[in-house]
Structure 1
Amino acid sequence: MKKFILMIAGAVLASASLMSQAQQADTIESKIEQMGTPKYLKVTALSARTRNKQLVLNFTIRNTDDRDNNAYYRVRWLDESGDRVWDDEPWKPMLFHGNQNVQVRAVAPTTKAKDFMIEFSAEANRRN
């Protein structure tokens, strides 16, 4: 009986570990492809939901500078296996006023999109 309880406890711990690894894989950083290292702009929140079979993204970008900053973004729409399901979108320009949070919403152009990658480029980048 003790062996059985230990086996069950081990299985529960193993599944909890796998769930935590899966949750860690979908952090904000894992969904943003930075073109350079932005000096003042940072994605601070990101959520993805399916509504009417369409993938809908909501994300927030924060300008930590007192001055205005420009940036560009686009979304790469992917299927379950990570393959593109839509042509490259054009870059979308954005203006961020000093210390401003901007909320962005993007809707997948096809119901085949199950995953995504946001490409982000800021004009003011850090020098590496």
Structure 2
Amino acid sequence: MNLLRTSLAAGFLAAGLVAMPAMAQQHDPATPPAVAAKVALRGEANGIAVREMRLVRKNDILTVQADLSNSGRSDRTVYYRFRWLDSVGNQVGDGESWKQLGVLGLGMQTIKSVAPTNAAVDLRLEMNVESR
């Protein structure tokens, strides 16, 4: 009985370890780990890195600026939106619509957003990167 449990546990663990790389997001190596923790990437980064993210609370409302950098020579189209979160991780507000941004080859763009309410204390930047 214990041998069967151990075998099943080892099998599930091995299956989980095999599946983990497929679920891991493929951030560009130029994205700092602290910034990557706030980015929810949908698909491949395709050479787009979030080089820096600045969060500031102005008049009790959280604002963000993020610098996107294209390390490739070809232009990329980035679809993005910010998801604002409260102190327990629940979404605040109705959510932003997707925005489209062209980032030229070897270029950099800054994106900005303002939280919908003062209840927002954190955020996730959701991105989908396509080649042009």
Question: Quick check: TM above 0.5?
Answer: yes
- Comparing 49-58 with 103-112, greater Cα deviation is found at 103-112
> What RMSD in Å do the two structures reach over aligned CA positions?
1.2
1:98 & 1:109 partners in 2: Cα distance?
33
- Extract unaligned runs of 5+ from structure 2: 1-32
Question: Which residue number corresponds to residue 108 of structure 1?
Answer: 115
Letter aligned with residue 78 of structure 1: L
Q: Is the 8 A contact 2:92 2:116 kept in 1?
A: no
TM-score normalised over the length of structure 1? 0.73
Output aligned runs, 1:14-93, within 5 Å: 27-93=34-100
- Extract unaligned runs of 5+ from structure 1: 1-25
2:104 & 2:52 partners in 1: Cα distance?
18
1:58 & 1:112 partners in 2: Cα distance?
19
Deviations 1:51-80 (A, max 9, x none): 011101111000112221101110111101
Letter aligned with residue 72 of structure 2: D
Deviations 1:3-26 (A, max 9, x none): xxxxxxxxxxxxxxxxxxxxxxx8
Question: Whose RCO is larger (CA < 8 A, sep 6+)?
Answer: 1
Letter aligned with residue 71 of structure 1: V
| % identity of equivalent residues | 29
For this pair of structures, how many residues does the alignment match?
A: 99
TM-score normalised over the length of structure 2? 0.71
Question: Which residue number corresponds to residue 118 of structure 1?
Answer: 125
1:94 & 1:114 partners in 2: Cα distance?
25
Question: Counterpart of 2:37 in 1: which secondary structure?
Answer: helix
